[in-house]
Amino acid sequence: MKKAHFERHYSERIGWLRAAVLGANDGIVSTASLVVGVAAAGAARGDILLAGVAGLVAGAMSMAAGEYVSVSSQADTEQADLARERAELEHDEAAEREELATIYMKRGLELSLARQVAQQLMEHDALAAHARDELGISEVHRARPIQAALASALTFAVGAALPVAVTGIVPASRVIPVVALSSLLLLALLGGLAAHAGGAGLLTGAMRVTFWGALAMAITAGVGLAVGAAV
């Protein structure tokens, strides 16, 4: 008897990958931009470092809260849809079976085969069949608020640690170029790795995040210069 053939698909990573990439990129971009902006305003290295650490902590908490609330809303919607589907199955299972068969017909099956497939899937797990094929809810794409919140907070802190660490090492006069360059290099690396993990092109992913990171830092540095000159 042959062993079952198992495949890993890129879509299985979409939940944690999205939160991890978003968190790390935000950590680098926002903290590096904050450091560059404060440095451009002429602040001392101690003040720049304090601003960076504050940005790291506040950003990580903000990312965790934002992801938890957002994904919790998605989870609430999924649960409401599943509850309604469960009630419909209890009220009129025959109509729900025909509804499922109609979905399969639209995907290319003949009526008799569509009804047979719907019958067998509903005998196995009626709610799961409707959740997957009618509502588009699957185990791979289910909302996981705590997982998303923890991944976002942790990856934000890891990403933000680089510009903070660089700020604590280099002289104040070199903070802007060193933080900017090291952050852009890390953004390019993370963008490429994320693209590879998701099955996309390395160069496209690297260029995408590097461009927006450079733009964010440039704009923040301009604001810092303007404010520093005014103050």
Least Cα distance to 15 among 183, 149, 144, 197 occurs for 144
Domain residues for 186? 15-230
Please report whether residue 151 resides in a domain: yes
pLDDT band for position 104 (cuts 50, 70, 90) = confident
Please report whether residue 1 resides in a domain: no
- In degrees and rounded to multiples of 5, residue 48 shows phi and psi of -65, -45
Q: What is the pLDDT of residue 56?
A: 94
Answer for the pair 212, 22: CB distance below 8 angstroms, yes or no: no
Neighbours of 226 (CB within 10 A): 12
Q: What is the pLDDT of residues 117-143, one digit of tens each?
A: 888 888 888 888 787 877 777 665 566
Least Cα distance to 160 among 26, 27, 21, 22 occurs for 27
Please report whether residue 8 resides in a domain: no
Please report whether residue 223 resides in a domain: yes
Please report whether residue 83 resides in a domain: yes
pTM of the model: 0.68
Please report whether residue 3 resides in a domain: no
The Cα–Cα gap between 218 and 231 comes to 20
Domains in the chain, number? 1
Q: What is the pLDDT of residue 55?
A: 93
Please report whether residue 2 resides in a domain: no
Please report whether residue 5 resides in a domain: no
Amino acid identity of 75? A
Q: What is the pLDDT of residue 105?
A: 87
Q: What is the pLDDT of residue 9?
A: 46
Q: Is 95 exposed, middle or buried (0-12, 13-18, 19+ CB in 10 A)?
A: exposed
